[in-house]
């Protein structure tokens, strides 16, 4: 069984290092767990938000966020975040540079795009980023996922991978959520689609061993 790992949007813009962007409590703490997770796979994939400063979904304050929009590929308002050339765009310091991943995606580049999952550029799931095709050509069977934030981009990436036909495992130590309620709902949604939730490294190793065994039956 071939295993890949996926670091979803592990950027400073989603941590308390950039409080004016979209800080997720404890987001700056996940790099060691992502690196630990990566040792379980033979391929390491990653993604970054790469947003225009003048994107049509940008609002001036956190109080104005999460208002619905009618645009096809930007459904909610957000404050400016993860703009190339700013500190918030950068990956956490302990992670590899994007060029050192086996496959890397920059998403939300156009001003009218704000995707969540890393497998498609659009919200309808029509414009592929190449992730699913890359994994299929590489012969990957299972993908272990972590990153920021659990209840948005991580959840959507995991669900897209699962819909693409892969076994998907969520490694909770490598994730942080915007809210506890959001995390609970996201985990329930993922579990309902057959995604395996791993609370620690022991659980991850147990589940990978189980999948490996079933792969040989």
What is the average pLDDT score of the chain? 98
**What whole-number distance in Å separates Cα of residue 91 and Cα of residue 10?**
6
Structure tokens at 118: 């890393």
CATH code where residue 95 lies: 3.40.50.850
Would 84 be classed as within a structural domain?
A: no
Structural domain boundaries, residue 40: 3-49+91-216
Would 141 be classed as within a structural domain?
A: yes
Would 68 be classed as within a structural domain?
A: no
What's the pTM value of the predicted model, to 2 decimals? 0.97
Would 203 be classed as within a structural domain?
A: yes
Would 163 be classed as within a structural domain?
A: yes
Mean pLDDT of 79-90: 99
Would 83 be classed as within a structural domain?
A: no
Question: For 131-156, what is each residue's pLDDT tens digit?
Answer: 999 999 999 999 999 999 999 999 99
Would 57 be classed as within a structural domain?
A: no
Number of domains forming the structure of the chain: 1
Would 60 be classed as within a structural domain?
A: no
Least-confidence region, from 30-34, 126-130, 184-188, 211-215:
211-215
């Amino acid at each position: 069984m071939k295993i890949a790992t996926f670091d979803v949007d592990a950027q400073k813009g989603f941590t308390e290092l950039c409080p004016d962007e979209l800080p997720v409590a404890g987001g700056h703490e996940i790099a060691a767990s992502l690196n630990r997770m990566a040792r379980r796979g033979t391929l390491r994939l990653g993604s970054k938000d790469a947003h225009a400063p003048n994107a049509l979904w940008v609002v001036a304050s956190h109080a104005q966020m999460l208002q619905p929009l009618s645009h096809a590929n930007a459904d909610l308002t957000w404050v400016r975040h993860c703009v190339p050339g700013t500190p918030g765009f950068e990956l956490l310091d302990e992670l590899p540079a994007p060029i050192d991943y086996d496959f890397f995606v920059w998403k939300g580049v156009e001003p009218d795009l704000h995707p969540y999952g890393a497998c498609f550029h659009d919200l309808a799931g029509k414009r592929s980023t190449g992730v699913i095709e890359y994994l299929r050509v590489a012969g990957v069977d299972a993908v272990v996922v972590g990153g920021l934030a659990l209840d948005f981009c991580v959840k959507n990436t995991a669900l897209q991978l699962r819909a693409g036909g892969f076994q998907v495992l969520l490694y909770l130590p490598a994730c942080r959520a915007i809210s506890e309620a959001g995390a609970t709902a996201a985990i329930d949604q993922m579990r309902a689609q057959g995604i395996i939730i791993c609370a620690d490294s022991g659980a991850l190793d147990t589940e990978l061993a189980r999948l490996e065994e079933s792969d040989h039956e």
